Amino acid sequence: MAEELEIADLGWTDRQGTASRQPGSCAPMLGEPKPNDVLDGRFVIVDTVNRGGMAWIYKAVDRTTGQIVALKIPLMHCECDASFYSRFQREEAIGLTLDHSGVVKFIPTGVTKSRPYIAMEYLEGETLAAWLHRTPRLPEAQAARLASQICDALNYLHRNGIVHRDLKPENLMICKDGAIRIMDFGIAKSTDAKRLTFGGFSSAVGTPDYIAPEQVKGKRGDGRTDIYSLGAMLYVMTTGTAPYEGDSPFVVMNARLSGDPEAPRQRNPQLSAPMEEIILHAMEREPGRRYASAAAMKAELDDYSEVTLEERSKRLRPVGVFSAYAPLLKNMAWVVAAQILAFLLLFMYFSHRHHAKSIVTSSPTATQTRT
């Protein structure tokens, strides 16, 4: 057998034990794992849990411990993308440093991988998205408890220099014992990590309903970015509706740059004033006006007497129709202008050719007889 050459950037080799590719290049087609397949002699595939836009999630048995685990394996076309692969590496690197009851646990494999994958604890329960699909509006007390648990986990992440940047109901698992865990660190940021290229918004890496304004502007964000996303989720949990609405994801995202959401109590009159204040405080468009920390937000969720009623609902700025559509209209204007310019250039070109042809036709030829 050839000498095993580990690729430091990838941490895995091919099945013959030789270095097989560079980051972002396509590996030989390994195919989709099937039940009873054994990965690296350790993980026995049991079933497919979910197939997302970027990766498969499998239920598997860890032969080393006998425990049920979850395996996240990238789709083959994603492995060929250098930017995605760097994010996948970073997700595992970040996950392995975390240890908190509110964060999914990553499992070190201790083997040279034959293909890229991440091993995690298998969670019994359902996502917050599934809860909200079944019960669009949660009782306020229940929503406050869930948000408080999320704040506790966020406080841990932020104190350790990690910003999740993709908080949404799909990435929160409510376990059978009532505990909630944050999952999917695919676009999470570590304060000491280099910046990676982000290919754009999609259902696989972000949901417009929960993205903070600074993310729409292309900024990296910090802990307050996660606080905004939590505020948006709390808005949905307590009102049953998204804070912003529009005909397209880009309209929804741009709306938060120019205006505020409708006051939560306008959509749910039974909501208490302190809860409305907490939501709007977390969803301030300017990061500097939000909670300084997840711990500060948790303190108010746990004890409404800590909430200072600043009547933020009376200072909300409505989203103008033009403002929300302005970026799209601006792009359309550039397209129309480009088309007009192209038409004018073509018109000038053909007019010049016609004029030149007329001059040649009307001039005396070299063979013309002199009179």
Give catalytic residues, as residue numbers.
166
Q: Point out which residues pair with 72 in neighbouring strands.
A: 57, 118
Q: Point out which residues pair with 103 in neighbouring strands.
A: 182
Specify the DSSP element, H or E, that contains 326: helix 321-362
CA atoms 25, 30, 36, 40: torsion sign: negative
Cα gap 130→27, rounded to integer Å: 35
Helix (H, G, I), strand (E, B) or coil at 121: strand
Cα gap 25→21, rounded to integer Å: 6
Cα gap 239→263, rounded to integer Å: 10
Specify the DSSP element, H or E, that contains 118: strand 118-121
Rg of the chain taking only CA atoms, in angstroms: 28
- Residue 15, CB-side half-sphere exposure with 13 Å CA sphere: 8
Q: Point out which residues pair with 74 in neighbouring strands.
A: 55
Specify the DSSP element, H or E, that contains 149: helix 140-159
Cα gap 62→333, rounded to integer Å: 57
CA atoms 133, 136, 139, 140: torsion sign: positive
Q: Tokens standing for 82?
A: 């250098």
Three-state helix/strand/coil letters over 153-195: HHHHHHHCCEECCCCCHHHEEEECCCCEEECCCCCCEECCCCC
